[in-house]
Structure 1
Amino acid sequence: MNKRPVLLGIFAHPDDESFGPGGTLARYAAQGAAVHVIIATDGIAGSMEEGHRLRDHETLAQVRSAELANAAVALGLTSIWSLPYRDSGMRNSPDNQHPDALIQQPVEKLVAELADYYRRLQPQVIITHDPFGGYGHPDHVRVCQAATAAFYVTRSRPMPGVNGSEWPGPQKLYYTAFDKRMLKLMVRIMPFMGQDPTAVGRNRDINLVEISRWHTPVHARIDVGPYLAQKLAASQAHASQYSGGPTFIRVLPPFLRRRFLATDTYTRAFPAPDGRVERDLLAGL
Protein backbone atom coordinates (compact mmCIF):
# COMPACT_ATOMS: atom_id res chain seq x y z
CA MET A 1 0.00 0.00 0.00
CA ASN A 2 1.22 3.51 -0.73
CA LYS A 3 2.55 5.34 2.31
CA ARG A 4 1.22 8.57 0.85
CA PRO A 5 -2.60 8.56 0.91
CA VAL A 6 -4.21 8.68 -2.52
CA LEU A 7 -7.61 10.25 -3.13
CA LEU A 8 -9.33 10.10 -6.52
CA GLY A 9 -12.25 12.30 -7.60
CA ILE A 10 -14.33 11.24 -10.61
CA PHE A 11 -16.65 13.87 -12.07
CA ALA A 12 -18.66 14.50 -15.20
CA HIS A 13 -17.65 17.97 -16.37
CA PRO A 14 -14.87 20.53 -16.08
CA ASP A 15 -15.92 22.61 -13.02
CA ASP A 16 -17.57 19.74 -11.11
CA GLU A 17 -14.29 19.25 -9.25
CA SER A 18 -14.35 22.88 -8.08
CA PHE A 19 -17.98 23.91 -7.58
CA GLY A 20 -18.78 20.87 -5.43
CA PRO A 21 -15.94 19.15 -3.55
CA GLY A 22 -13.22 21.70 -4.31
CA GLY A 23 -12.61 22.45 -0.65
CA THR A 24 -12.14 18.77 0.12
CA LEU A 25 -9.70 18.26 -2.75
CA ALA A 26 -7.71 21.34 -1.71
CA ARG A 27 -7.64 20.24 1.93
CA TYR A 28 -6.21 16.80 1.28
CA ALA A 29 -3.77 18.07 -1.32
CA ALA A 30 -2.49 20.64 1.19
CA GLN A 31 -2.18 17.92 3.83
CA GLY A 32 0.11 15.86 1.62
CA ALA A 33 -2.19 13.36 -0.06
CA ALA A 34 -1.86 12.60 -3.75
CA VAL A 35 -5.12 13.97 -5.15
CA HIS A 36 -6.08 12.92 -8.68
CA VAL A 37 -9.17 13.88 -10.68
CA ILE A 38 -10.81 12.25 -13.70
CA ILE A 39 -13.23 14.33 -15.80
CA ALA A 40 -15.51 12.27 -18.03
CA THR A 41 -16.66 14.81 -20.64
CA ASP A 42 -15.55 17.93 -22.50
CA GLY A 43 -18.31 20.15 -21.10
CA ILE A 44 -19.21 21.41 -24.57
CA ALA A 45 -22.96 21.38 -23.91
CA GLY A 46 -22.64 23.98 -21.17
CA SER A 47 -23.61 27.56 -21.84
CA MET A 48 -21.23 30.45 -21.27
CA GLU A 49 -21.67 33.25 -18.78
CA GLU A 50 -23.15 36.33 -20.43
CA GLY A 51 -20.40 38.49 -21.86
CA HIS A 52 -17.83 35.68 -21.94
CA ARG A 53 -15.97 35.18 -25.24
CA LEU A 54 -14.06 32.26 -26.73
CA ARG A 55 -11.07 34.61 -27.12
CA ASP A 56 -8.08 32.42 -28.05
CA HIS A 57 -10.10 29.22 -28.46
CA GLU A 58 -12.24 27.86 -31.27
CA THR A 59 -14.73 25.88 -29.17
CA LEU A 60 -16.24 25.94 -25.71
CA ALA A 61 -14.64 22.55 -25.06
CA GLN A 62 -11.20 24.13 -25.52
CA VAL A 63 -12.12 26.96 -23.19
CA ARG A 64 -13.27 24.56 -20.51
CA SER A 65 -10.16 22.42 -20.85
CA ALA A 66 -7.97 25.47 -20.24
CA GLU A 67 -10.13 26.51 -17.30
CA LEU A 68 -9.83 23.01 -15.84
CA ALA A 69 -6.04 23.19 -15.98
CA ASN A 70 -6.07 26.49 -14.09
CA ALA A 71 -8.50 25.11 -11.51
CA ALA A 72 -6.26 22.08 -10.97
CA VAL A 73 -3.36 24.38 -10.12
CA ALA A 74 -5.53 26.39 -7.70
CA LEU A 75 -6.60 23.21 -5.88
CA GLY A 76 -3.09 21.74 -5.78
CA LEU A 77 -4.06 18.55 -7.62
CA THR A 78 -1.42 15.94 -8.31
CA SER A 79 -2.87 15.09 -11.71
CA ILE A 80 -5.98 15.51 -13.81
CA TRP A 81 -7.22 13.13 -16.50
CA SER A 82 -9.92 13.50 -19.14
CA LEU A 83 -12.01 10.78 -20.78
CA PRO A 84 -12.75 11.29 -24.52
CA TYR A 85 -16.50 11.85 -24.31
CA ARG A 86 -18.89 14.61 -25.20
CA ASP A 87 -21.06 16.41 -22.68
CA SER A 88 -24.54 14.84 -22.89
CA GLY A 89 -26.41 17.99 -21.88
CA MET A 90 -29.32 18.20 -19.48
CA ARG A 91 -32.21 15.74 -19.50
CA ASN A 92 -34.24 15.62 -22.73
CA SER A 93 -31.92 17.98 -24.58
CA PRO A 94 -30.79 17.24 -28.19
CA ASP A 95 -27.24 16.74 -26.87
CA ASN A 96 -28.43 13.51 -25.25
CA GLN A 97 -28.56 11.88 -28.69
CA HIS A 98 -25.08 12.76 -29.92
CA PRO A 99 -23.17 9.51 -30.64
CA ASP A 100 -20.12 10.73 -28.72
CA ALA A 101 -22.15 11.73 -25.65
CA LEU A 102 -21.19 10.02 -22.42
CA ILE A 103 -24.67 8.56 -21.91
CA GLN A 104 -24.51 6.93 -25.33
CA GLN A 105 -21.48 4.84 -24.32
CA PRO A 106 -21.94 1.29 -23.02
CA VAL A 107 -21.67 1.28 -19.24
CA GLU A 108 -19.37 -1.75 -19.41
CA LYS A 109 -16.89 0.26 -21.50
CA LEU A 110 -16.83 3.11 -18.97
CA VAL A 111 -16.42 0.69 -16.06
CA ALA A 112 -13.43 -0.96 -17.75
CA GLU A 113 -11.81 2.44 -18.44
CA LEU A 114 -12.24 3.63 -14.87
CA ALA A 115 -11.07 0.34 -13.43
CA ASP A 116 -7.87 0.74 -15.44
CA TYR A 117 -7.33 4.20 -13.91
CA TYR A 118 -7.97 2.78 -10.45
CA ARG A 119 -5.32 0.11 -10.94
CA ARG A 120 -2.78 2.65 -12.15
CA LEU A 121 -3.44 5.37 -9.57
CA GLN A 122 -4.27 2.95 -6.71
CA PRO A 123 -6.44 5.29 -4.60
CA GLN A 124 -7.60 4.36 -1.13
CA VAL A 125 -10.53 6.80 -1.30
CA ILE A 126 -12.81 7.64 -4.23
CA ILE A 127 -15.26 10.56 -4.43
CA THR A 128 -17.89 10.86 -7.13
CA HIS A 129 -21.41 12.16 -7.84
CA ASP A 130 -24.47 10.86 -6.01
CA PRO A 131 -26.88 8.45 -7.75
CA PHE A 132 -29.33 11.29 -8.49
CA GLY A 133 -26.67 13.26 -10.32
CA GLY A 134 -26.66 16.22 -7.93
CA TYR A 135 -29.26 18.19 -9.86
CA GLY A 136 -30.39 15.41 -12.19
CA HIS A 137 -27.74 15.74 -14.87
CA PRO A 138 -27.55 12.51 -16.94
CA ASP A 139 -23.74 12.63 -17.08
CA HIS A 140 -23.52 12.84 -13.30
CA VAL A 141 -25.77 9.82 -12.96
CA ARG A 142 -23.76 7.82 -15.49
CA VAL A 143 -20.45 8.72 -13.83
CA CYS A 144 -21.79 7.56 -10.47
CA GLN A 145 -22.93 4.27 -11.99
CA ALA A 146 -19.61 3.59 -13.72
CA ALA A 147 -17.39 4.77 -10.87
CA THR A 148 -19.30 2.63 -8.37
CA ALA A 149 -19.18 -0.49 -10.54
CA ALA A 150 -15.45 0.01 -11.18
CA PHE A 151 -14.92 0.33 -7.42
CA TYR A 152 -16.30 -3.15 -6.81
CA VAL A 153 -14.60 -4.64 -9.89
CA THR A 154 -11.15 -3.57 -8.69
CA ARG A 155 -11.84 -4.74 -5.14
CA SER A 156 -12.73 -8.17 -6.49
CA ARG A 157 -9.44 -8.48 -8.39
CA PRO A 158 -6.46 -7.53 -6.16
CA MET A 159 -3.20 -6.70 -7.92
CA PRO A 160 0.42 -5.86 -7.00
CA GLY A 161 0.96 -2.50 -5.32
CA VAL A 162 3.76 -0.05 -6.06
CA ASN A 163 6.02 -1.56 -3.39
CA GLY A 164 5.44 -5.17 -4.40
CA SER A 165 2.72 -5.81 -1.83
CA GLU A 166 -0.76 -6.68 -2.98
CA TRP A 167 -3.05 -3.71 -3.64
CA PRO A 168 -6.49 -4.66 -2.30
CA GLY A 169 -8.38 -2.09 -4.34
CA PRO A 170 -9.94 1.16 -3.13
CA GLN A 171 -11.11 1.03 0.47
CA LYS A 172 -13.70 3.80 0.72
CA LEU A 173 -16.28 5.23 -1.69
CA TYR A 174 -18.12 8.51 -1.12
CA TYR A 175 -20.86 10.36 -2.98
CA THR A 176 -21.16 14.13 -2.83
CA ALA A 177 -24.23 15.06 -0.80
CA PHE A 178 -25.77 17.84 1.17
CA ASP A 179 -28.35 18.16 3.87
CA LYS A 180 -31.64 19.02 2.19
CA ARG A 181 -33.13 20.88 5.16
CA MET A 182 -31.84 24.29 4.08
CA LEU A 183 -32.84 23.63 0.48
CA LYS A 184 -36.36 22.71 1.55
CA LEU A 185 -36.56 26.00 3.43
CA MET A 186 -35.25 27.97 0.43
CA VAL A 187 -37.80 26.29 -1.85
CA ARG A 188 -40.54 27.69 0.39
CA ILE A 189 -38.99 31.15 0.61
CA MET A 190 -38.05 31.70 -3.04
CA PRO A 191 -41.59 32.38 -4.35
CA PHE A 192 -41.86 35.27 -1.88
CA MET A 193 -38.68 36.67 -3.45
CA GLY A 194 -40.15 36.48 -6.93
CA GLN A 195 -38.18 33.34 -7.89
CA ASP A 196 -39.52 30.06 -9.24
CA PRO A 197 -37.82 27.16 -7.42
CA THR A 198 -38.83 24.74 -10.20
CA ALA A 199 -36.90 26.63 -12.88
CA VAL A 200 -33.54 27.99 -11.73
CA GLY A 201 -30.10 28.24 -13.22
CA ARG A 202 -28.85 30.02 -16.31
CA ASN A 203 -31.11 27.95 -18.57
CA ARG A 204 -33.99 27.60 -16.09
CA ASP A 205 -33.62 23.83 -16.28
CA ILE A 206 -32.94 22.96 -12.64
CA ASN A 207 -35.87 22.02 -10.41
CA LEU A 208 -35.00 22.66 -6.76
CA VAL A 209 -38.34 21.24 -5.60
CA GLU A 210 -37.47 17.91 -7.20
CA ILE A 211 -33.92 18.01 -5.84
CA SER A 212 -35.14 18.75 -2.31
CA ARG A 213 -37.02 15.44 -2.32
CA TRP A 214 -34.01 13.27 -3.16
CA HIS A 215 -32.59 11.39 -0.19
CA THR A 216 -28.83 11.90 0.09
CA PRO A 217 -27.87 11.01 3.67
CA VAL A 218 -24.87 12.75 5.19
CA HIS A 219 -22.34 10.38 6.74
CA ALA A 220 -19.26 12.62 6.56
CA ARG A 221 -18.78 16.32 7.29
CA ILE A 222 -15.40 17.69 6.23
CA ASP A 223 -14.18 21.03 7.52
CA VAL A 224 -12.89 22.99 4.51
CA GLY A 225 -13.11 26.48 6.00
CA PRO A 226 -9.34 27.06 5.80
CA TYR A 227 -9.39 26.11 2.11
CA LEU A 228 -12.25 28.29 0.85
CA ALA A 229 -9.82 30.66 -0.85
CA GLN A 230 -8.46 27.79 -2.95
CA LYS A 231 -11.97 26.60 -3.76
CA LEU A 232 -13.03 30.11 -4.78
CA ALA A 233 -9.94 30.53 -6.97
CA ALA A 234 -10.65 27.20 -8.65
CA SER A 235 -14.32 28.08 -9.16
CA GLN A 236 -13.43 31.46 -10.63
CA ALA A 237 -10.94 29.74 -12.95
CA HIS A 238 -14.01 28.33 -14.66
CA ALA A 239 -14.90 31.82 -15.81
CA SER A 240 -17.18 30.67 -18.64
CA GLN A 241 -19.41 28.89 -16.11
CA TYR A 242 -18.99 30.76 -12.83
CA SER A 243 -21.92 32.84 -11.63
CA GLY A 244 -21.16 33.08 -7.93
CA GLY A 245 -22.65 29.75 -6.96
CA PRO A 246 -26.14 28.22 -6.93
CA THR A 247 -29.10 30.56 -6.55
CA PHE A 248 -30.05 29.19 -3.14
CA ILE A 249 -26.50 29.95 -1.94
CA ARG A 250 -26.22 33.44 -3.44
CA VAL A 251 -29.36 34.68 -1.71
CA LEU A 252 -27.94 33.88 1.74
CA PRO A 253 -26.34 36.63 3.85
CA PRO A 254 -22.51 36.53 3.62
CA PHE A 255 -21.98 35.06 7.11
CA LEU A 256 -24.46 32.23 6.45
CA ARG A 257 -23.00 31.64 2.99
CA ARG A 258 -19.51 31.17 4.42
CA ARG A 259 -20.82 28.90 7.16
CA PHE A 260 -22.64 26.79 4.57
CA LEU A 261 -19.60 26.54 2.28
CA ALA A 262 -17.13 25.76 5.09
CA THR A 263 -18.29 22.15 5.33
CA ASP A 264 -18.32 19.59 2.51
CA THR A 265 -20.70 16.70 3.11
CA TYR A 266 -20.77 13.16 1.73
CA THR A 267 -22.71 9.94 1.70
CA ARG A 268 -20.47 6.96 2.48
CA ALA A 269 -21.35 4.28 -0.04
CA PHE A 270 -18.64 1.85 1.14
CA PRO A 271 -18.04 0.62 3.72
CA ALA A 272 -21.54 0.80 5.12
CA PRO A 273 -22.00 3.74 7.51
CA ASP A 274 -21.81 2.86 11.19
CA GLY A 275 -24.04 5.60 12.57
CA ARG A 276 -21.20 8.01 13.32
CA VAL A 277 -20.51 11.16 11.31
CA GLU A 278 -16.99 11.08 9.90
CA ARG A 279 -14.77 14.14 10.01
CA ASP A 280 -11.93 12.75 7.88
CA LEU A 281 -12.31 10.80 4.63
CA LEU A 282 -8.91 9.19 5.20
CA ALA A 283 -9.75 7.94 8.69
CA GLY A 284 -9.28 4.24 9.25
CA LEU A 285 -6.91 3.62 6.33
Structure 2
Amino acid sequence: MTIQGNANTPRKLLAVFAHPDDETFICGGTFAKYAAEGVEMTLVSATRGEMGRRMGNPPYLNRETMAAAREQELREACACLGIGNLIFFDIRDKTVEFEDERSLEGRIEALIRDIAPDVVLTFHERYGGHPDHCAIGKATTAAFWRSARKGALYFITFGDAMERPERYGYKRKDVVKIDVQAYQSAKLAAFRAHRCQTEIDEWVWLADNEALSRFGRHEYFLKGDVQAAQRANTDLF
Protein backbone atom coordinates (compact mmCIF):
# COMPACT_ATOMS: atom_id res chain seq x y z
CA MET A 1 0.00 0.00 0.00
CA THR A 2 1.32 3.43 -0.92
CA ILE A 3 0.05 6.61 0.72
CA GLN A 4 -0.88 9.07 -1.98
CA GLY A 5 -1.05 12.78 -1.22
CA ASN A 6 -2.70 15.42 -3.39
CA ALA A 7 -2.22 19.11 -4.01
CA ASN A 8 -4.10 19.99 -0.83
CA THR A 9 -2.71 17.31 1.49
CA PRO A 10 1.07 16.99 1.18
CA ARG A 11 2.69 13.91 2.60
CA LYS A 12 4.33 14.41 5.99
CA LEU A 13 7.31 12.83 7.70
CA LEU A 14 8.33 13.18 11.35
CA ALA A 15 11.81 12.05 12.44
CA VAL A 16 12.62 11.83 16.15
CA PHE A 17 16.36 11.44 16.71
CA ALA A 18 18.86 12.03 19.51
CA HIS A 19 21.68 14.24 18.22
CA PRO A 20 22.63 16.73 15.52
CA ASP A 21 24.11 14.72 12.60
CA ASP A 22 21.95 11.59 13.13
CA GLU A 23 19.75 12.78 10.27
CA THR A 24 22.67 13.27 7.88
CA PHE A 25 25.07 10.46 8.69
CA ILE A 26 22.39 7.76 8.78
CA CYS A 27 19.72 8.73 6.28
CA GLY A 28 20.54 12.08 4.67
CA GLY A 29 19.89 10.80 1.18
CA THR A 30 16.36 9.76 2.10
CA PHE A 31 15.54 13.19 3.49
CA ALA A 32 16.86 14.84 0.33
CA LYS A 33 14.84 12.46 -1.84
CA TYR A 34 11.57 13.17 -0.09
CA ALA A 35 12.23 16.89 0.04
CA ALA A 36 12.58 16.82 -3.74
CA GLU A 37 9.21 15.05 -3.90
CA GLY A 38 7.50 17.73 -1.83
CA VAL A 39 7.18 15.87 1.46
CA GLU A 40 6.82 18.14 4.51
CA MET A 41 9.46 17.04 7.02
CA THR A 42 9.88 17.75 10.71
CA LEU A 43 13.01 16.74 12.61
CA VAL A 44 13.25 16.47 16.38
CA SER A 45 16.71 16.47 17.93
CA ALA A 46 16.41 15.45 21.57
CA THR A 47 19.79 17.03 22.43
CA ARG A 48 22.25 19.51 20.98
CA GLY A 49 25.12 17.01 21.09
CA GLU A 50 27.14 19.06 23.56
CA MET A 51 28.93 15.99 24.96
CA GLY A 52 30.31 14.90 21.60
CA ARG A 53 33.98 13.95 21.58
CA ARG A 54 34.80 15.71 18.31
CA MET A 55 35.43 19.41 18.79
CA GLY A 56 36.85 20.34 15.40
CA ASN A 57 40.21 19.56 13.87
CA PRO A 58 42.27 21.14 15.34
CA PRO A 59 39.89 21.59 18.29
CA TYR A 60 38.23 24.99 18.48
CA LEU A 61 35.14 24.15 20.57
CA ASN A 62 34.65 23.32 24.25
CA ARG A 63 31.77 22.14 26.42
CA GLU A 64 30.46 25.70 26.73
CA THR A 65 30.47 26.47 23.00
CA MET A 66 29.66 23.04 21.58
CA ALA A 67 25.85 23.18 21.87
CA ALA A 68 25.45 26.46 19.97
CA ALA A 69 27.88 25.36 17.26
CA ARG A 70 26.17 22.04 16.71
CA GLU A 71 22.73 23.65 16.67
CA GLN A 72 23.86 26.00 13.90
CA GLU A 73 25.47 23.14 12.00
CA LEU A 74 22.24 21.15 12.22
CA ARG A 75 20.23 24.08 10.91
CA GLU A 76 22.60 24.32 7.94
CA ALA A 77 22.36 20.57 7.34
CA CYS A 78 18.56 20.74 7.41
CA ALA A 79 18.70 23.43 4.74
CA CYS A 80 20.88 21.15 2.60
CA LEU A 81 18.48 18.22 3.00
CA GLY A 82 15.22 20.15 2.67
CA ILE A 83 14.02 19.58 6.23
CA GLY A 84 11.67 22.47 6.83
CA ASN A 85 10.92 22.23 10.55
CA LEU A 86 13.47 21.61 13.33
CA ILE A 87 12.56 21.10 16.99
CA PHE A 88 14.92 20.69 19.95
CA PHE A 89 13.77 18.95 23.11
CA ASP A 90 16.60 20.57 25.11
CA ILE A 91 17.62 17.34 26.83
CA ARG A 92 21.24 17.20 27.91
CA ASP A 93 23.38 15.04 25.66
CA LYS A 94 23.99 11.53 27.02
CA THR A 95 21.08 11.75 29.46
CA VAL A 96 18.06 10.84 27.30
CA GLU A 97 17.83 7.43 28.99
CA PHE A 98 17.35 9.16 32.36
CA GLU A 99 14.37 11.28 31.27
CA ASP A 100 10.98 10.45 32.76
CA GLU A 101 9.63 7.96 30.22
CA ARG A 102 5.98 8.94 30.41
CA SER A 103 6.78 12.63 30.08
CA LEU A 104 9.05 12.08 27.08
CA GLU A 105 6.50 9.80 25.42
CA GLY A 106 3.85 12.44 26.03
CA ARG A 107 5.87 15.16 24.30
CA ILE A 108 6.35 12.97 21.26
CA GLU A 109 2.74 11.79 21.23
CA ALA A 110 1.58 15.41 21.25
CA LEU A 111 3.75 16.11 18.20
CA ILE A 112 2.41 13.08 16.36
CA ARG A 113 -1.16 14.15 17.03
CA ASP A 114 -0.41 17.73 15.99
CA ILE A 115 1.55 16.97 12.82
CA ALA A 116 -0.37 13.83 11.79
CA PRO A 117 2.60 12.40 9.87
CA ASP A 118 2.23 9.68 7.27
CA VAL A 119 5.66 8.36 8.29
CA VAL A 120 7.49 8.41 11.62
CA LEU A 121 11.22 7.64 11.74
CA THR A 122 13.22 6.87 14.86
CA PHE A 123 15.86 4.53 16.26
CA HIS A 124 15.28 0.90 17.15
CA GLU A 125 15.25 0.63 20.94
CA ARG A 126 17.69 -2.31 20.91
CA TYR A 127 19.76 -1.72 17.78
CA GLY A 128 20.26 2.03 18.14
CA GLY A 129 23.94 1.70 18.96
CA HIS A 130 23.99 4.45 21.64
CA PRO A 131 21.99 4.83 24.89
CA ASP A 132 20.49 8.14 23.71
CA HIS A 133 19.46 6.55 20.41
CA CYS A 134 17.83 3.58 22.08
CA ALA A 135 16.01 5.74 24.63
CA ILE A 136 14.54 8.16 22.09
CA GLY A 137 13.59 5.21 19.89
CA LYS A 138 11.80 3.47 22.74
CA ALA A 139 9.90 6.62 23.67
CA THR A 140 8.93 7.39 20.08
CA THR A 141 7.74 3.84 19.47
CA ALA A 142 5.54 3.97 22.58
CA ALA A 143 4.23 7.41 21.60
CA PHE A 144 3.40 6.22 18.08
CA TRP A 145 1.25 3.39 19.37
CA ARG A 146 -0.36 5.55 22.03
CA SER A 147 -1.33 8.10 19.40
CA ALA A 148 -3.29 5.47 17.46
CA ARG A 149 -2.01 7.01 14.23
CA LYS A 150 -2.69 5.23 10.96
CA GLY A 151 0.67 6.19 9.48
CA ALA A 152 3.76 4.00 9.34
CA LEU A 153 6.60 3.64 11.83
CA TYR A 154 10.12 2.83 10.64
CA PHE A 155 13.44 2.38 12.40
CA ILE A 156 16.55 3.86 10.82
CA THR A 157 19.53 1.52 10.44
CA PHE A 158 23.26 1.83 9.93
CA GLY A 159 24.98 1.39 6.59
CA ASP A 160 24.04 -1.78 4.75
CA ALA A 161 23.52 -3.92 7.88
CA MET A 162 19.99 -4.71 6.76
CA GLU A 163 21.16 -6.41 3.59
CA ARG A 164 21.16 -9.40 5.95
CA PRO A 165 18.25 -8.71 8.33
CA GLU A 166 18.14 -12.32 9.47
CA ARG A 167 21.06 -11.59 11.80
CA TYR A 168 18.73 -9.27 13.71
CA GLY A 169 15.67 -11.49 13.75
CA TYR A 170 13.96 -9.84 10.77
CA LYS A 171 13.06 -10.98 7.26
CA ARG A 172 13.75 -9.23 3.97
CA LYS A 173 10.09 -8.28 3.67
CA ASP A 174 10.54 -6.22 6.86
CA VAL A 175 13.18 -3.97 5.25
CA VAL A 176 12.65 -0.93 3.05
CA LYS A 177 15.58 -0.19 0.76
CA ILE A 178 15.66 3.39 -0.58
CA ASP A 179 17.71 4.25 -3.66
CA VAL A 180 19.36 7.60 -2.83
CA GLN A 181 21.95 7.71 -5.60
CA ALA A 182 20.45 10.84 -7.15
CA TYR A 183 20.57 12.73 -3.85
CA GLN A 184 24.14 12.13 -2.72
CA SER A 185 25.29 15.68 -3.45
CA ALA A 186 22.78 17.05 -0.93
CA LYS A 187 23.91 14.43 1.58
CA LEU A 188 27.55 15.42 1.11
CA ALA A 189 26.69 19.09 1.59
CA ALA A 190 24.97 18.18 4.86
CA PHE A 191 28.00 16.15 5.97
CA ARG A 192 30.15 19.21 5.39
CA ALA A 193 27.67 21.39 7.26
CA HIS A 194 28.40 19.26 10.35
CA ARG A 195 31.90 20.67 10.24
CA CYS A 196 33.10 20.06 13.79
CA GLN A 197 32.12 16.41 13.49
CA THR A 198 33.58 15.74 10.04
CA GLU A 199 36.78 17.78 9.85
CA ILE A 200 38.73 14.82 11.16
CA ASP A 201 37.39 12.60 8.34
CA GLU A 202 39.64 13.45 5.42
CA TRP A 203 37.42 11.72 2.85
CA VAL A 204 34.55 14.18 3.46
CA TRP A 205 36.72 17.03 2.23
CA LEU A 206 38.15 15.37 -0.87
CA ALA A 207 37.04 16.51 -4.32
CA ASP A 208 33.30 15.99 -4.66
CA ASN A 209 33.50 12.99 -6.97
CA GLU A 210 35.91 11.21 -4.63
CA ALA A 211 33.87 12.00 -1.52
CA LEU A 212 30.62 10.96 -3.17
CA SER A 213 32.11 7.59 -4.08
CA ARG A 214 32.25 6.74 -0.36
CA PHE A 215 28.46 6.73 -0.04
CA GLY A 216 26.41 3.59 -0.56
CA ARG A 217 23.62 3.71 -3.13
CA HIS A 218 20.92 2.72 -0.66
CA GLU A 219 19.65 3.55 2.83
CA TYR A 220 17.73 0.95 4.82
CA PHE A 221 14.78 1.08 7.20
CA LEU A 222 13.07 -1.54 9.34
CA LYS A 223 9.30 -1.64 9.47
CA GLY A 224 8.08 -0.84 12.96
CA ASP A 225 5.07 -3.12 12.58
CA VAL A 226 5.98 -6.27 10.68
CA GLN A 227 2.34 -7.41 10.82
CA ALA A 228 1.07 -4.33 8.97
CA ALA A 229 -0.25 -4.53 5.43
CA GLN A 230 2.58 -4.95 2.94
CA ARG A 231 3.99 -1.69 1.60
CA ALA A 232 6.41 -1.19 -1.24
CA ASN A 233 9.90 -2.22 -0.14
CA THR A 234 11.48 0.69 -2.00
CA ASP A 235 9.42 3.55 -0.52
CA LEU A 236 8.45 4.67 2.98
CA PHE A 237 5.08 6.06 1.83
The TM-score bracket by the shorter chain reads 0.7 to 0.9
Of 103, 107, 121 in structure 2, the residue corresponding to residue 109 of structure 1 is 103
- Asked if the contact 1:177/1:216 (under 8 Å) is kept, the reply is no
Letter matched to residue 188 of structure 2: L
Of 200, 216, 225 in structure 1, the residue corresponding to residue 181 of structure 2 is 225
TM-score scaled by length of structure 1: 0.69
Letter matched to residue 177 of structure 1: T
Alpha-carbon displacement from aligned partner over 1:123-147 (angstroms, at most 9, x marks no partner): 010111122343x210000011000
The alpha-carbon distance between structure 1 residues 215 and 276, as it changes in their structure 2 partners (threshold 3 A), is same
After TM superposition, the runs of 4+ consecutive aligned structure 1 residues lying more than 3 A away are 178-183, 213-218, 243-246, 253-258, 273-277
Residue 177 of structure 1 aligns with which residue? Answer: 157
Q: CA deviation at 1:272?
A: 2.5
Q: Secondary structure at the match of 1:50?
A: coil
Residue 58 of structure 2 aligns with which residue? Answer: 51
The alpha-carbon distance between structure 1 residues 121 and 232, as it changes in their structure 2 partners (threshold 3 A), is same
**Which range is displaced more, 71-80 or 216-225?**
216-225
Of 137, 141, 145 in structure 1, the residue corresponding to residue 130 of structure 2 is 137
- Asked if the contact 2:188/2:212 (under 8 Å) is kept, the reply is no
* Cα distance in structure 2, aligned partners of 1:267 and 1:68: 25
Q: CA deviation at 1:274?
A: 6.4
Of 103, 111, 119 in structure 1, the residue corresponding to residue 113 of structure 2 is 119
Of 194, 208, 229 in structure 2, the residue corresponding to residue 238 of structure 1 is 194
* Cα distance in structure 2, aligned partners of 1:12 and 1:114: 13
Query: Structure 2 stretches of 5 or more lacking a match?
Result: 204-209
Alpha-carbon displacement from aligned partner over 1:225-251 (angstroms, at most 9, x marks no partner): 1111111111111111124499xxxxx
TM-score scaled by length of structure 2: 0.82
Alpha-carbon displacement from aligned partner over 1:39-78 (angstroms, at most 9, x marks no partner): 11121110124314139x9421111111111001011112
* Cα distance in structure 2, aligned partners of 1:84 and 1:78: 19
Residue 217 of structure 2 aligns with which residue? Answer: 262
Count residues with an aligned counterpart.
219
Letter matched to residue 67 of structure 1: E
Residue 60 of structure 1 aligns with which residue? Answer: 66
Of 66, 72, 82 in structure 2, the residue corresponding to residue 76 of structure 1 is 82
Residue 13 of structure 2 aligns with which residue? Answer: 7
* Cα distance in structure 2, aligned partners of 1:181 and 1:76: 26
Residue 207 of structure 2 aligns with which residue? Answer: none
* Cα distance in structure 2, aligned partners of 1:77 and 1:146: 22
- Asked if the contact 2:17/2:44 (under 8 Å) is kept, the reply is yes
- Asked if the contact 1:12/1:143 (under 8 Å) is kept, the reply is yes
CA RMSD of aligned residues (A): 2.9
Q: Secondary structure at the match of 1:44?
A: coil
- Asked if the contact 1:151/1:170 (under 8 Å) is kept, the reply is no
| Structure whose alpha-carbon radius of gyration is higher | 1
The alpha-carbon distance between structure 1 residues 245 and 264, as it changes in their structure 2 partners (threshold 3 A), is farther
- Percent identical among aligned pairs is 33
Q: Does residue 233 of structure 2 align to residue 278 of structure 1? A: yes
Q: Secondary structure at the match of 1:20?
A: helix
